[in-house]
Amino acid sequence: MYQSLAKPLPSILVTLPRQIVFLIPFIYLFPLVWGVNGIFLAQPVSDALALVICIALIVREHKLLVFREALPAC
Protein backbone atom coordinates (compact mmCIF):
# COMPACT_ATOMS: atom_id res chain seq x y z
CA MET A 1 0.00 0.00 0.00
CA TYR A 2 2.68 2.49 0.98
CA GLN A 3 4.76 1.77 -2.08
CA SER A 4 1.80 2.62 -4.30
CA LEU A 5 1.29 5.86 -2.35
CA ALA A 6 4.98 6.74 -2.91
CA LYS A 7 5.70 6.63 0.83
CA PRO A 8 8.83 4.52 1.27
CA LEU A 9 9.42 5.18 4.98
CA PRO A 10 6.24 3.49 6.27
CA SER A 11 6.89 0.65 3.84
CA ILE A 12 10.35 0.18 5.34
CA LEU A 13 8.89 0.40 8.85
CA VAL A 14 6.72 -2.60 8.05
CA THR A 15 9.29 -4.71 6.22
CA LEU A 16 12.43 -4.10 8.26
CA PRO A 17 11.07 -5.17 11.65
CA ARG A 18 9.41 -8.24 10.17
CA GLN A 19 12.49 -9.55 8.40
CA ILE A 20 15.36 -8.30 10.56
CA VAL A 21 14.41 -6.76 13.89
CA PHE A 22 11.98 -9.49 14.98
CA LEU A 23 12.70 -12.60 12.92
CA ILE A 24 16.45 -12.99 13.38
CA PRO A 25 16.45 -12.60 17.19
CA PHE A 26 13.41 -14.87 17.46
CA ILE A 27 15.15 -17.57 15.43
CA TYR A 28 17.94 -17.55 18.00
CA LEU A 29 15.86 -17.06 21.16
CA PHE A 30 12.77 -19.21 20.63
CA PRO A 31 14.67 -22.51 20.31
CA LEU A 32 16.13 -21.89 23.76
CA VAL A 33 12.61 -22.05 25.17
CA TRP A 34 10.72 -24.35 22.78
CA GLY A 35 13.49 -26.34 21.09
CA VAL A 36 13.14 -27.02 17.37
CA ASN A 37 9.53 -25.87 17.42
CA GLY A 38 10.77 -22.42 18.41
CA ILE A 39 12.38 -22.04 14.99
CA PHE A 40 9.02 -22.66 13.35
CA LEU A 41 7.26 -20.29 15.75
CA ALA A 42 9.64 -17.42 15.00
CA GLN A 43 8.10 -16.61 11.60
CA PRO A 44 4.43 -16.37 12.65
CA VAL A 45 5.28 -14.38 15.77
CA SER A 46 7.42 -12.02 13.69
CA ASP A 47 4.58 -11.64 11.19
CA ALA A 48 2.06 -10.98 13.97
CA LEU A 49 4.19 -8.22 15.46
CA ALA A 50 4.68 -6.71 12.00
CA LEU A 51 0.89 -6.85 11.58
CA VAL A 52 0.45 -4.77 14.74
CA ILE A 53 2.87 -2.17 13.37
CA CYS A 54 1.13 -2.26 10.00
CA ILE A 55 -2.31 -1.75 11.54
CA ALA A 56 -1.05 1.23 13.55
CA LEU A 57 0.46 2.80 10.41
CA ILE A 58 -2.66 2.18 8.34
CA VAL A 59 -4.93 3.70 11.00
CA ARG A 60 -2.65 6.74 11.08
CA GLU A 61 -2.67 7.01 7.28
CA HIS A 62 -6.44 6.66 7.18
CA LYS A 63 -6.85 9.52 9.66
CA LEU A 64 -4.53 11.69 7.54
CA LEU A 65 -6.50 10.94 4.39
CA VAL A 66 -9.84 11.68 6.06
CA PHE A 67 -8.43 14.94 7.43
CA ARG A 68 -7.19 15.98 3.98
CA GLU A 69 -10.59 15.27 2.43
CA ALA A 70 -12.30 17.36 5.10
CA LEU A 71 -10.22 20.43 4.26
CA PRO A 72 -11.97 22.91 2.00
CA ALA A 73 -10.62 23.15 -1.54
CA CYS A 74 -8.68 26.33 -2.17
Q: What is the mean pLDDT of residues 49-66?
A: 90
The secondary element (H helix, E strand) that includes residue 30 is helix 23-34
Q: What are phi and psi of 73, to 5 degrees?
A: -75, 135
Q: Are 35 and 8 in contact (CB under 8 A)?
A: no
pTM of the model: 0.78
Confidence of residue 19 (pLDDT cuts 50, 70, 90): confident
Q: Are 27 and 45 in contact (CB under 8 A)?
A: no
Distance of CA 67 to the CA centre of its chain: 23
CA distance 27 to 31: 7
